[in-house]
Chain A
Amino acid sequence: MTRDEVFQKVRDVLVDALAVDEDEVTAEASLVNNLGAESIDFLDIVFKLEQAFGIKIGQGELFPENVSQDARFVQNGKVTPAGIDALRARLPHVDFRSFEADPQLSKVGEIFTVDTLVRFVERKLAA
């Protein structure tokens, strides 16, 4: 499957899960900030990606989980450098560069873009 084909299928999933227009789903669009995704939508997206691509996505594999419960990783509502390293190791498909400038836990959902999902699916398909 080419990157473009993956993107189109990811776009179909997001149009369905988030009730957005096709042209809103650009590679750079943030799921939370631009496409209005809320917490339950992330679970919906995981389920729909599994169906669309015939893949199995483990819990916490695509979107981070349980970061906030580890005191080494979160202090005063911010993700520590150790936390970011741990996230990076766990989520290699995510670009954390912009998040590092203001690593507030509440904003961790905002780093996910359409491109993040495309990269994730590509990795899964190649594995």
Chain B
Amino acid sequence: MRWMWIDRVIELVPGQRLVAIKNVSLAEEHLHDHFAADPPTPGSRGRPALPVMPASLILEGMAQTAGILVGHASGFATKVILAKIGTASLERDAGPGCTLRYTATIERMDLVGASTSGVVELMDHAAGTADQPARFERIGVIDLMFSHLDHNMGAAGAPGAAFPKHNFVFGEGFKTLLRTSGF
């Protein structure tokens, strides 16, 4: 089973843009280790726990958002794999109870691969009031490059590169996600 890092697709403009959200939850076990408390030791007061979503998983969330967009553009006929992280910058932590919104846009795509630009936004639900509901605020950008594996492995003649014929990138997890999101 694929480890899904987005909960719902909320907008899909085929070949152009995909928007997805992720609700950060304390039920995710890794948050308890990231970061666990440092107990006090002689000479140190220690540190309390600080559960925040690891930046690497935010990156994965954007990679899934952009990857579905790129895969969808070719009808999920080719295997789309993350090949390069061009830019990744995040300015704020995402703690439990927050919602992340990933917006991925295709900048360029051809048979060989695709490049995407991405914006990460955060909604801190506690920041809203009855008069002014909480809003998404931009917290970072993640630009990625994807390779169309089938094309590249065939044309480049890379020795020993044997991959299964079935599309192992886009399995049931992504299909279910799109279906339950209404796409």
Contact = CB atoms under 8 A, between A and B. Distances in A.
A69 B157 contact: yes
Contacts of B113: 40, 43
Contacts of A51: 107
Interface in B138-183: 145, 147, 152, 155-157
Interface in A56-114: 59, 65-66, 68-69, 105
A51 B107 CA distance: 10
A1 to B, nearest CB: 22
A40 B115 contact: no
Contact of A39 (B86, B108, B115, B152): B152
A41 interface: yes
Contacts of B107: 47, 51
B50 interface: no
A50 interface: yes
Interface bin, chain A = 10 to 19
Nearest to B81: A40
Interface of B: 83-84, 86, 107-108, 110-113, 115, 145, 147, 152, 155-157
A44 interface: yes
Q: Is the interface of A mostly helix, strand, loop or mixed?
A: helix
Interface of A: 16-17, 39-41, 43-44, 47, 50-51, 59, 65-66, 68-69, 105
25 contacts: A17-B86, A39-B156, A40-B84, A40-B113, A40-B145, A40-B147, A43-B113, A43-B115, A43-B145, A43-B147, A44-B84, A44-B86, A44-B115, A44-B145, A47-B107, A47-B108, A47-B115, A50-B108, A59-B110, A65-B155, A66-B155, A68-B155, A68-B156, A68-B157, A105-B157
Nearest to A105: B157
B156 A43 contact: no
A59 B86 contact: no
What are the 10 closest A-B residue pairs judged by CB atoms, nearest first?
A68-B157, A40-B83, A47-B108, A43-B113, A47-B115, A40-B84, A43-B112, A66-B155, A44-B145, A40-B147
Contact of A41 (B84, B111, B156): B84
Nearest to A16: B86
B150 to A, nearest CB: 14
B112 A59 contact: yes
Contacts of B112: 43, 59
A76 B73 CA distance: 38
A65 to B, nearest CB: 6
Contacts of A66: 155
A30 to B, nearest CB: 19
